[in-house]
Structure 1
Amino acid sequence: MKMSPREFLDWQTKRITLLAMSGAGKTTLANKLPKSKWFHYSGDYRIGTKYLEEPILDNIKRQAMRVPFLRELLLSDSIYIANKITVDNLAPVSTFLGKLGNPELGGLSLQEFKRRQRLHHQAEIAAMNDVPEFIHKAEDIYGYKNFINDAGGSVCELDSPEVLETLALNTLIIYIKIPPAMEQIIIERAKTDPKPLYYREAFLDEKLAEFMSLNGYADPNVIPPDEFVTWVFPELFKSRLPRYEAIAEQYGYTVDARDVAEVKDEDDFIRLIADAIAKQQSN
């Protein structure tokens, strides 16, 4: 969706998709918008509560069945297991994705890891294709005129033109670009707290082979899970940047993460986007 700054300011039903790497301030920015006026849609929340709900629960139950005390209670239907996923707590989704490597250290075999990656890929496509329906629901049921889509950090990895066309047709796409000065901060943060991530399969195959060659591993099942995640994150970061930029160039607009950090309220948010539209039109 493209428009002039004036058209954006006059737009009575503002519908926006935020795209960014994890750590760029996407969710923090979305939370600056009053929930009394904006319907907040989280792609990751939709994935966890709708499309991966059953696989996530199966994974938790599988772990619980390894504990004799819990196994007996589960088999006798004395207890049940439920998710408590919230927009601010998406840990069950990350836990399900898991990390590739030594099972004795909590890792997943390459086959199982890829299976879960494929499930996440399908779930993220479905969650983004749900955006038009939720835009309608937000207004029809709850009376929201404005809609913010906090998309997952891996949307740029989906290789699905249909998803991008859907988002561009129904929302204004805003990409939060991380300046070089912030890149190393985010990379270092990821190294100190390595988290499960989604990778395109071709990227995973290439980087896993490179990592194993560099470190002398002959079998993925002996890799310490955190070691691979820590090594691969900077490579993933670099590979995603041109993908985000291509999406913004074709379908939307770009804002600087430093300017995003200065946003205090809805008025600042609106001005930020209007300025980004004006800047692109002047180039």
Structure 2
Amino acid sequence: METLVFATNLSRDFGRHPALSNLDLCLERGQVLGLLGPNGAGKTTCLRLLSGLLAPSSGRIEILGIDLARRPLAAKRHLGYLPERPPLYPELRVDEYLTHCAQLHRLPRRAIPAAIATAKQRCGLEDQGRRLIAKLSRGYRQRLGLAQAILHRPPLLILDEPTEGLDPVQMRELRQLIRDLAQDTGIILSSHLLPEVQSVCDRVMILHRGRVRFDAETRAARPTNLWRVRLGGETHIMHLTALDPVAGAIAIGPNRFQVELREGSNSSDLARAILRSGLELFELVPERTDLERTFFDLIGAEEHA
């Protein structure tokens, strides 16, 4: 596969404060890498370094084999960047703004109309060309910010908190758009929302206090069929035999059980089976994945069960 980004020993200090320390990163075409961590973990600093907006205190960054420090203009031609707050001009119309961005990307004049039409189509902005940016909703502004980032068809996209401030419907739509773009692009995105990273990323890197604490593919960290159940009364494991068609259970404490759903069953089936058995259901929650346990252990926020 084609390597899009290769960073080694990447560090950035602000005065005496190390915002990022000794980060190594490699991204290939078709991959979506999520930078996960609490606020202040170093995610935005990392993205600004990779996009060339900040110079590293030490380390090296290559974009498609081009040294970002030595040949910044040549390297930046291959990437699109969406900051947390898109650089929009509210007094412009959508088409005017995208034309301006296309000129900044140095697209040939004859290629600009087609590039704008393609970007709007991919971002769901086909009918918004004449609208003032000031009149757009937050979701459409995020779409417009993404459109400017993909105008020049870069092989690499860098997205900083792309769903920040969106409602659940807008978040779902933007996540689907990111997955669609990932078919022929490499994407690095930051988030402090674990479900967002799990839903769109192939790989996750957890940052904490400027250092990489975890780096692995997310496939093994997808939600499982394991659930934790707490029942009322004096409930024994034998009382759960009625659940056999739906799930198998093991006792993990007084009136507490770990339940594994059988193939074809879901949590609603489990809840109905428990209630039909005459048992009192006090709690039904999914078991955390390995990624969730790692994340909360690292940031010191693990719940005490």
TM-score, normalized by the shorter chain, greater than 0.5 = no
| Bigger radius of gyration among the two | 2
TM-score by length of 1: 0.34
TM-score by length of 2: 0.32
Structure with more of its chain in strand, by fraction: 2
Higher relative contact order (CA 8 A, sep 6+): 1
